[in-house]
Amino acid sequence: MKKIMITGSLGQIGSDLIKRLRQDYGVQNVIATDIRDPKDHPAVKEGNFEILDVMNRDKMFEIAKKHNVDTLVHFAALLSATAEKNPQFGWDLNMSGLMNALEVARELNLKFFTPSSIAAFGPNSPKDNTPQDTVQRPTTMYGVTKVAGELLCDYYFLKYKVDTRGVRFPGLISYAAEPGGGTTDYAVDIYYEALKNKKYASYIGKGTYMDMMYMPDAIDSIVNLLNADPAKLVHRNAFNITAMSFDPEQIAASIKKFMPEFTMSYNVDPVRQSIADSWPNSIDASAAKKEWGFAPKYDLDKMTLDMLQKLSVKLNIPFKAK
Ligand code: AKB
């Protein structure tokens, strides 16, 4: 992996991955692309940036060829809550975007990474410690596209030998770019509101457990899986990974440890609650640990303290852990 192109790179994961890859591989060797072009974004100002709508396969091919990339990381997609509002567009964007990216990877012989999600499981998957290989009958459009995407990536590896790799991400928590349109986003919003208002009304109900991970661990997982020895990869495209599982009460309790005046109430959103109810409480990441050494570093309290400290700088709101 020497020259990497990223689609949807100004989103939550891309914003952090660009920084890491530019540090590791050199600024000029990371080609950031996105449908948006905010001129003041560091990724746009610092290095190579190209406007790309992933529905346009010719343009994607042209950019990859022009920059002579050897790796394609494909993020552009609608997340769960947004896809549920417009399922037809969710299918079109998530599936055509992925198919275009896989075709570009096939034609140019690129290494390929795209994320799947805990959303690839459904209400009849085992709820706790959900195995790597098990029943997958998701009931959201996002989940349907994630299962289809996992299979499509397997297909491109088996049929065309494209070096496809991927993980099932849990909810990702980060401070650089805010997530948009997910179900797990409450676990990001809560830190912003804790700093701004010392209180938060959760749209996810008490007792709803979901897998989560802090962004530095997610970024490590992408880089480590892309660099993993292919001979050791049995699963390739849909590794379960997780760092923690909690419900709103537990993340609130973690914030209170550092900010005792913080309070939480509930204002449950039925749509996002029913999506969360269809997902696992916790998934089993043992295949990722065994096949490529996945090892997250952040637990809930370590993440909470870092999030509050980093966000206080970003938002310019004083914070001192109690
Ligand atoms: C979402 O909530 O839609 C995403 C995901 C778990 O894939 N964060």
Domain range list for the chain: 4-169, 172-212+242-315
Q: How far is CA 102 from the centre of its chain?
A: 19
Residue 44: per-residue pLDDT: 86
d(CA 43, CA 182): 23
Residue 41: per-residue pLDDT: 85
- Ligand 1 contacts (CB < 6 A) are 79-80, 117-119, 142, 169, 171, 182-184
Residue 100: per-residue pLDDT: 98
In the reported structure, the alpha carbon of residue 297 is separated from the centroid of ligand 1 by a whole-number distance in angstroms of 21
Residue 109: per-residue pLDDT: 98
Residue 68: per-residue pLDDT: 98
Nearest to 42 by CA among 64, 72, 14, 2: 14
Catalytic residue flag (residue 142): yes
Q: By alpha-carbon position, which residue is closest to atom 6 of ligand 1?
A: 171
CB atoms within 10 A of CB 152: 18
User: Would you say 239 and 113 are in contact if contact means Cβ atoms under 8 Å apart?
Assistant: no
- Give pLDDT < 50 ranges for the chain: none
Q: Which two tokens stand for residue 11?
A: 């989103």
Q: Is the entire prediction scored with pTM above 0.95? A: yes
Residue 148: per-residue pLDDT: 98
Say yes or no: do domains 4-169 and 172-212+242-315 share a fold. yes
Residue 39: per-residue pLDDT: 82
Length of the chain: 322
In the reported structure, the alpha carbon of residue 116 is separated from the centroid of ligand 1 by a whole-number distance in angstroms of 9
Q: Which CATH class is domain 4-169?
A: alpha beta
Catalytic choice (142, 186, 203, 298): 142
- In one-letter notation, the amino acid at residue 172 is L
In the reported structure, the alpha carbon of residue 62 is separated from the centroid of ligand 1 by a whole-number distance in angstroms of 30
- In one-letter notation, the amino acid at residue 190 is I
- State which H helix or E strand residue 199 sits in: strand 199-202
Q: Which atom of ligand 1 is nearest to the CA of 81?
A: 3
**Terminal CA-CA length for the chain:** 44
From 150, 172, 183, give the residue whose CB has the most ligand 1 atoms within 8 Å, as the site to mutate. Answer: 183
In the reported structure, the alpha carbon of residue 152 is separated from the centroid of ligand 1 by a whole-number distance in angstroms of 20
Q: Which two tokens stand for residue 96?
A: 């055509």
Q: Which atom of ligand 1 is nearest to the CA of 146?
A: 7
Q: Which atom of ligand 1 is nearest to the CA of 79?
A: 3
Q: Torsion over CA of 5, 107, 110 and 115, rounded to 10 degrees? A: 70
What is the topology classification, in CATH, of domain 172-212+242-315? Rossmann fold (3.40.50)
d(CA 240, CA 235): 10
User: Would you say 142 and 79 are in contact if contact means Cβ atoms under 8 Å apart?
Assistant: yes
Residue 167: per-residue pLDDT: 98
Residue 75: per-residue pLDDT: 98
Q: Which two tokens stand for residue 252?
A: 């609130």
Q: Which atom of ligand 1 is nearest to the CA of 142?
A: 3
C-alpha Rg value of the chain to the nearest Å: 19
d(CA 236, CA 270): 35
Nearest to 251 by CA among 315, 185, 197: 185
In the reported structure, the alpha carbon of residue 113 is separated from the centroid of ligand 1 by a whole-number distance in angstroms of 17
Residue 42: per-residue pLDDT: 82
